[in-house]
Amino acid sequence: MKKAGWLGRAVLVGLTAFAGLGLVSPTIAQEKAVPPEHAMVMPDLDQHLKMLSGKLTLTAEQQEKARPILKEMQDGLQKVGEDKSLTPDQMHAQMHSTMMKADKQLREYLTDEQKTKLDAMEAEMHHPHADQGSADSK
């Protein structure tokens, strides 16, 4: 169950950091491996790029370099999501590998400040409510 929860969070950041990883079209549902309530919804490529551009303040050149990286990641995630022969653990491992590959490729084009912002986005993906206490004190 914990792994299936990871799949949902992975999509939110996207998949936000792509980590995407997060929420429109195409739906990837693993009928046998992942219960329907954990079906993934990946962001449209343009929306994903726009979201990352806004959060990381990507230049036009960085956006051009990020587009094929995001496309390859989304295609890879979709392929894994459609492979009904995979166990949940195999699916998790392959999706994680696909997202980490994209993350590494994207970071080659980011400034140190943008990498720090991406780190924060990824941390939020893994611990979405960890910062709530500090928000209450503001």
Is pTM, for the whole model, over 0.85?
Answer: no
Closest Cα partner for 82 from 72, 95, 69, 70?
Answer: 95
Q: Is residue 11 part of a domain?
A: no
**How many domains is the chain partitioned into structurally?**
1
Q: What CA–CA distances, in Å, run from 88 to 28, 81, 117?
A: 14, 10, 30
d(CA 100, CA 86): 19
What is the span of the domain harbouring residue 106? 59-112
Q: Is residue 12 part of a domain?
A: no
| pLDDT exceeds 90 at position 116 | yes
Residue 43 — very low, low, confident or very high, per pLDDT cuts 50/70/90? Answer: confident
Q: Is residue 8 part of a domain?
A: no
Q: What is the pLDDT of residue 44?
A: 87
Taking only the tens place, the pLDDT of each residue in 65-91 is 999 999 999 999 999 999 999 999 999
Please, are residues 23 and 10 in contact by the beta-carbon 8 Å criterion? Answer: no
